[in-house]
Copies of this chain bind each other. A is one copy, B any other.
Amino acid sequence: MFIHNKRLQYTVRVGETNPALASLLLEQFGGPDGELAAAMRYFTQGLAETDPGRKDMLMDIATEELSHLEVIGSIVAMLNKGVKAQLSEAAMEEAELYRSLTAGGDSHTQAVLYGGGPSLTNSSGVPWTAAYVDSRGEPTCDLRSNIAAESRAKIIYERLINITDDPGIKDALGFLMTREISHQKSFEKALYAITDNFPPGKLQGVAPFANMYVNTSQGEGDMTGPWNEGPQWDRIDDLRKVMPADGGDGVPSVKLSRAETAVEKKVMARTASDPASDPQTGVDLGAGPGAGKITGGEDMGAAKDIKHADKI
């Protein structure tokens, strides 16, 4: 059960209102790496977790992330306090209000639609979606996902710190950023407290394919490094060797029943294309009087000629 105390986990002191900055900070309220995503990632894992230590840790951190959601949401609410009241009470001339709403970011939507309250969107106004939550119900995956998620959240906070000069906000963002570092450390400890965590899950891989590195991107700039070279790797540079990687013909096949085969023939006959035809097409009808138009460009010069002079 959750309980709430009206004090924030970190005191929020905002120097002056600024709805455009508020709209950027939404990234950590309703964005993909924001605090709701974090809280829900750990909470959904915690509910299904049966290992008592991990379950406790997941609920601890999920709960703290909800408190962080409250801190970042409170900053947004403070930054929007002016515009919220001004728009609500029509406190300025229309043109002045209009200008104040279109000063930057997506703060216009924050004001018109959300009335200056913190919205669960990212900084472009995209609503939060549970598609951001990648809990999979297997700890050797989920802990890695959590480690990655904390590292992403850390970097977004770092970027927001880099563009904020209000010392009170910067201070609170520094706290929040640091907590992500701390949480990453906890998840790392929990991952490696599972003795055998690689490969994730239970099934081992198929031996011939586990050390194979397929050099599919070739040409000038081909590089080697520990990720494709050394005793752990069998690098394939001649791609014909993996066309296919098994001993087959590389062609997909399925055994159809007799009835299925009969119907398949009917559909193929009905929709057959005639490769020997040279049909007149809608393009031919539509290209206008100039025959050259059929080619879509015959009377054009090189690409560099697409310039203003050709236009009205």
Contacts and interface: CB of A to CB of B under 8 A. Distances in A.
Most chain B beta-carbon neighbours within 10 Å: one of A20, A248, A304: A248
Interface in A175-192: 175, 177-179, 181-182, 184-192
Contacts of A300: 204-207, 210
Given A4-B3, A89-B311, A102-B20, A206 B11 contact: no
A88 B61 CA distance: 25
Nearest to A208: B302
B136 A114 contact: yes
B98 A115 contact: no
A225 B57 contact: yes
The count of identical subunits is 6
21 contacts: A1-B9, A3-B216, A4-B62, A27-B112, A50-B267, A85-B263, A90-B311, A91-B266, A113-B156, A114-B137, A125-B125, A129-B130, A155-B200, A158-B202, A170-B303, A170-B306, A170-B307, A185-B232, A192-B285, A198-B287, A210-B298
Interface residues of A, number: 251
B117 A137 contact: yes
Nearest to A133: B120
Interface string A269-307: 011111111111111111111000111111111111111
A3 B253 CA distance: 23
A136 to B, nearest CB: 5
Contacts of A219: 5-7
Contacts of A85: 260, 263-264, 266-267
Given A63-B216, A190-B226, A193-B227, 19 more contacts: A1-B8, A1-B67, A3-B63, A3-B239, A47-B117, A85-B267, A94-B163, A95-B165, A102-B105, A115-B138, A119-B135, A138-B271, A144-B152, A154-B201, A181-B199, A194-B274, A196-B293, A198-B294, A266-B312
